[in-house]
Structure 1
Amino acid sequence: MMEISQSLKSTEGSKHFPLTPFRILRGLLCLTIYLSTAFMFCVYFIPLAAVVLRLFSVHYSRKSVAFLFGLWLGLWPFFFEKVNKTRVIFSGEKVSVEDRVLLIANHKTEVDWMYLWDLALRKGCLGYIKYVLKSSLMRLPIFGWGFHFLEFIPVERKWEVDETVIRQLLSTFTDPHDPLWLALFPEGTDYSEEKCVKSQKFADENGFPVLEHVLLPKTRGFHACLEILRGSFDAVYDVTIAYKNQCPSFLDNVFGVDPSEVHMHVRRIPISDVPTSEIEVTSWLMDAFQFKDQLLSDFTVNGHFPQEGTEEELSTVKCLINCAAVLSFTGIFIFLTFFSSIWFKVYVGLACIYLSCATYFNIRLSAVFGSNETVWYRRIL
């Protein structure tokens, strides 16, 4: 606990809330809850929803996984907004609950991707988010299992390595009946002053726009997503994220010391308005990031984005019901594992072995008994 306190002490004076023993203990308790609930949901639900059911229907397997793990993911917005008292303020355009979308966002800090859950929860689409994320996150204990079976797309940030994987995995998402929010951070890494200087130098030398608040976007992954899934997308959601005072770290979130406010500006661009050729897509994405840069510049001056108030506050009652459901499931699973038949312990052990192997070897299943679905079971190289 001393190490945790010291890691935040240097910036404690500028935090929204002071780091107190109560906040440290509360944060550690929440992390324990996240780990225990994630573990139990993975070992008891994934073998049924993402393995057995998937042998019969990929569509219904994905719907089941989205519902079950949407319950678990709902703990995070509840923690951010109701426990940490972080205000999440939406502006721009309202988004449709029925859209199948490619979502692009700027990457200010390591926790941006978590706050997209606050938007998805309000739209009832929390379980449908799939991220393109760095492959090292797939190796996290327990959470990596969830990322794999939620079908997140791992990348090494080297196009010659990533192109084959991205195209193979994206080709499994072409069914328009499968709800999808595919989230991509085109900058490829989180923002820092040092990275910004390098990005500006590269832009200046190569005739690209010189940006101040975002990095120059990488376009090949974005174009690949459009090329493969354009026929099933309804729109692109262009999300710009900003924080009051300073950007939070993961530990700031855990202990509830920052951020005080998260601002998200949303633009909905119909897919028909996005160009098709790679050259035009590159120009379109550069324009989108110039627009983000101007939005963030105005935010620095004004403290808010235009057209605020597009989404309502989360319902405390619904959040508590969701939390109670997750904790109830977890309590039942803990009882079955430790205080019931030995066969439950055997089941948990076998499930852990399978989850570890499937994640490590990147094994993905498709329908075997479904009449209209292609069979594949292989390691993605």
Structure 2
Amino acid sequence: MLLSLVLHMYSMCCVLPAAVLLGTAPTYVLAWGAWRLLSAFLPSRFYQAVDDRLYCIYQSMVLFFFENYTGVQILLYGDLPKNKENIIYLANHQSTVDWIVADILAIRQNALGHVRYVLKDGLKWLPLYGCYFFQMYLVIFPEGTRYNPELTKVISASQTFAAQEGLPVLKHVLTPRIKATHVAFDSMKNYLDAIYDVTVAFEGTVDDKGQRKEAPSMAEFLCKECPKIHIHIDRIDKKDVPEEQVYMKRWLHERFEIKDKLLIEFYDSLDPERRNKFPGESVNSKLSLKKTLPSFLILSGLTAGMLMTEAGRKLYVKTWIYGTLIGCLWVSIKA
């Protein structure tokens, strides 16, 4: 009986956030759609300002669950962001939580509404959000797929590719691909201030034998199985990034060599004082509830109000159905 209760409580840790995050999706899409129509005859800057604000509200609610609800500890190292900048965010990729780590940094620069992503093609079919995510960019994971120590064939293929290209073989990251990074930089170099080269490590992902384990999934993260996230940031001025693709390819691999060395020290160091941390001083960055709780209350309150009336419930269901169908049609046309 006690075990069943514990398992039930454990599952609820994940179910509640998932229900709220998905359940408020129609509310968000309706608000965005209404503003899109209202702003059709206004200058684009007015649409963009409110669109960014709406997006910020939703992402703040996401962070309410992934930071305040889970109680995860965020430890920052390196070039800590101070001012809002136009940046490309390059990071190692190991978990479905990685895009939220980008939000974790963005909210600390008051830039959450401006974050955009390069995502896997399949995510454009995500109900309601797919067509919206399909337009997003700037956060880039050059490895192209997640590093999972259990997928030995993927790691072996990546290391073989590096060797064939005459590049150093990497241990804790996959060999980066250049295409998305080069296209993004070339398209946006006139507006960029810098590139943030970000290395992320989830504490507690080493087993009793010292072997690296798979990083926590979203569900595991929401069940409070990740006590600390270590985030190392290198700020690179855009003038220090080579523009030609052939030189940028080598530069990008060198950046991942640096990541690999950081992660080797984090996971493999024989010195217990150096293990489970990056070099240098860390800053324990706690996110205030004032940054996230209002967004949670606004979106959940509006959704609850809609579901209390028959007309609201019908609109809610129709938004799920027709919003998903229209979104899929839109990305089919754009693909």
Q: Report the TM range for the smaller structure's normalisation.
A: 0.7 to 0.9
Per the alignment, residue 273 of structure 1 pairs with 240
> Which of 75, 78, 81 is the equivalent residue of 1:95?
81
Seen in structure 2, the aligned counterparts of structure 1 residues 26 and 243 have a Cα distance that, compared at 3 Å, is closer
The alpha-carbon deviation at position 108 of structure 1 amounts to: 1.6
Per the alignment, residue 331 of structure 1 pairs with 304
Matched, 1:379 2:333: yes
Paired residue secondary structure (1:74): helix
Matched, 1:131 2:108: no
**Counterpart-to-counterpart distance in 2, 1:110 and 1:317:** 26
Per the alignment, residue 184 of structure 1 pairs with 140
Seen in structure 2, the aligned counterparts of structure 1 residues 59 and 349 have a Cα distance that, compared at 3 Å, is farther
**Counterpart-to-counterpart distance in 2, 1:29 and 1:228:** 40
What code does the residue aligned with 2:139 have?
A
Paired residue secondary structure (1:98): coil
Seen in structure 2, the aligned counterparts of structure 1 residues 55 and 306 have a Cα distance that, compared at 3 Å, is farther
Q: Deviations over 1:117-164 (max 9, x none)?
A: 11112211112111111121121223425424xx226xxxxxxxxxxx
**Counterpart-to-counterpart distance in 2, 1:83 and 1:66:** 24
**Counterpart-to-counterpart distance in 1, 2:35 and 2:282:** 37
The alpha-carbon deviation at position 96 of structure 1 amounts to: 4.1
**Counterpart-to-counterpart distance in 2, 1:122 and 1:183:** 16
Per the alignment, residue 49 of structure 1 pairs with 35
What code does the residue aligned with 1:141 have?
P
Seen in structure 2, the aligned counterparts of structure 1 residues 349 and 124 have a Cα distance that, compared at 3 Å, is same
**Counterpart-to-counterpart distance in 2, 1:309 and 1:49:** 42
Structure 1: state its 5+ residue gaps: 6-18, 154-181, 364-377
The alpha-carbon deviation at position 309 of structure 1 amounts to: 3.7
> Which of 288, 293, 303 is the equivalent residue of 2:260?
293
Per the alignment, residue 147 of structure 1 pairs with 133
The 5-angstrom pairing of residues 237-252 of structure 1 reads: 237-246=196-205, 247-252=215-220
**Counterpart-to-counterpart distance in 1, 2:319 and 2:96:** 30
Seen in structure 2, the aligned counterparts of structure 1 residues 262 and 304 have a Cα distance that, compared at 3 Å, is same
**Counterpart-to-counterpart distance in 2, 1:264 and 1:252:** 19
Seen in structure 2, the aligned counterparts of structure 1 residues 145 and 280 have a Cα distance that, compared at 3 Å, is closer
Matched, 1:105 2:91: yes
Q: How many equivalent residue pairs?
A: 314
Note the aligned Cα RMSD (angstroms).
2.5
The alpha-carbon deviation at position 23 of structure 1 amounts to: 2.3
Per the alignment, residue 211 of structure 2 pairs with none
Q: Deviations over 1:228-257 (max 9, x none)?
A: 11111111111101011211012202322x
**Counterpart-to-counterpart distance in 2, 1:311 and 1:60:** 37
**Counterpart-to-counterpart distance in 2, 1:110 and 1:98:** 25
Seen in structure 2, the aligned counterparts of structure 1 residues 271 and 305 have a Cα distance that, compared at 3 Å, is same
Per the alignment, residue 221 of structure 1 pairs with 180
The alpha-carbon deviation at position 357 of structure 1 amounts to: 4.3
Structure 2: state its 5+ residue gaps: 206-214
Stretches of 4+ aligned residues off by more than 4 angstroms: 344-354
Is the CA contact 1:94–1:311 (under 8 Å) kept in the aligned structure 2? Answer: no
Matched, 1:67 2:53: yes
Is the CA contact 1:49–1:61 (under 8 Å) kept in the aligned structure 2? Answer: yes
The alpha-carbon deviation at position 62 of structure 1 amounts to: 2.4
Is the CA contact 2:73–2:228 (under 8 Å) kept in the aligned structure 1? Answer: yes
The alpha-carbon deviation at position 97 of structure 1 amounts to: 3.5
Is the CA contact 2:199–2:259 (under 8 Å) kept in the aligned structure 1? Answer: yes
The alpha-carbon deviation at position 83 of structure 1 amounts to: 1.8
Per the alignment, residue 206 of structure 1 pairs with 165
Seen in structure 2, the aligned counterparts of structure 1 residues 354 and 231 have a Cα distance that, compared at 3 Å, is farther
**Counterpart-to-counterpart distance in 1, 2:243 and 2:93:** 25
**Counterpart-to-counterpart distance in 1, 2:302 and 2:84:** 29
Paired residue secondary structure (1:24): helix
Is the CA contact 1:110–1:250 (under 8 Å) kept in the aligned structure 2? Answer: yes
Q: Deviations over 1:147-186 (max 9, x none)?
A: 24xx226xxxxxxxxxxxxxxxxxxxxxxxxxxxx10000
Is the CA contact 1:86–1:260 (under 8 Å) kept in the aligned structure 2? Answer: yes
